[in-house]
């Protein structure tokens, strides 16, 4: 029963019901209410940090600022005079 309570506290009600069923949810809720000292040790204690505080969050915000280069042939200065018909290999 303690393992089911741990699963409920870490994964949430929706995943618990899909794995064990709603009747097991009622039993686990009663178990948690009757044995608060046992359940207190298995509660998840992970604290969620804000998005930009980790290195991964900083990289994600930096990637949002990145602008992809434009490879349009019309805007490149060294290809302005070139058209479709001016290929070197055309006369070979």
Q: What per-residue confidence (pLDDT) applies to 92?
A: 57
How far is residue 4 CA from its own chain's centroid?
Answer: 26
Q: What per-residue confidence (pLDDT) applies to 33?
A: 93
Classify residue 88 as left (phi > 0), alpha (psi -120 to 50) or beta: alpha
Which residue did the predictor score with more confidence, 66 or 24?
24
Q: What is the mean pLDDT of residues 18-44?
A: 89
38-53 burial: b if 16+ Cβ within 10 Å, else e: ebeebeeeeeeeeeee
Which residue did the predictor score with more confidence, 13 or 86?
13
């Amino acid at each position: 029963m303690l393992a089911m309570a741990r699963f409920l506290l870490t994964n949430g009600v929706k995943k618990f019901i899909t794995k064990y069923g709603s009747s097991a949810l009622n039993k686990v809720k009663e178990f948690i209410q009757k044995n608060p000292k046992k359940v207190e040790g298995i509660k998840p204690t992970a604290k969620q940090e804000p998005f930009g505080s980790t290195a991964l969050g900083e990289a994600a915000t930096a990637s949002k600022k990145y602008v992809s280069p434009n490879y349009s042939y019309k805007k490149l200065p060294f290809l302005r005079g070139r058209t479709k018909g001016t290929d070197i290999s055309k006369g070979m």
